[in-house]
Structure formats: C-alpha cells, structure tokens
Amino acid sequence: MNHKDLQQSAEAKGEKIELRSEKVRNIIGQPPPFLIRWGNAILAIILILAGLIAWLIIKVE
C-alpha cells in the first residue's frame, strides 16, 4: 500500500493518522531560532520607536 491508499483507508474508517517520520516532526515542531531572535528584536524596536514618538508629541505640546 502506498501513502494515498493508507490515507484513504484511514479516512474511510474515520481515523486520523500521521504518516510523518520522527525527523520531520522534530523539524516542524520547533520554530527556527533566527525567527524568534529577529522577531523579538523588531518588536523591541517598534516599542522603543512608539515610546520616543509619544515622548516627542508630549514634549512639543
């Protein structure tokens, strides 16, 4: 049986099966570290800029 046959058989029985290897599950299960690092840096920059803009608006008035 190939992958498609197994999937159709499981769907017919109302079962949901995962046909991924452990390596694939490990890769999918972990977000890439560079994405977290850069996401946090960009969020911090946006918050700092928002604070500076708010401070400038209050100071100018």
Answering whether pTM is above 0.75, one says no
Mean pLDDT over each residue of the chain, to the nearest integer: 79
How far is Cα 19 from Cα 10, in angstroms, rounded to an integer?
A: 11
Residues 40-53 have a mean pLDDT of 96
Q: C-alpha distances in angstroms, 61 versus 25, 30, 56?
A: 56, 48, 9
Residue 52 has pLDDT above 90, yes or no: yes
| Domain ranges across the chain | 1-30, 32-61
Residues 6+ apart with CB under 8 A from 45: none
Q: What is the pLDDT of residues 5-33, one digit of tens each?
A: 766 776 777 666 565 677 777 777 777 78
Across the range 29-48, mean pLDDT stands at 88
Average pLDDT over residues 40-52: 96
Contacts of 6 (CB under 8 A, 6+ apart): 17, 19
The dihedral through the CA atoms of 10, 12, 16, 21 has a sign that is positive
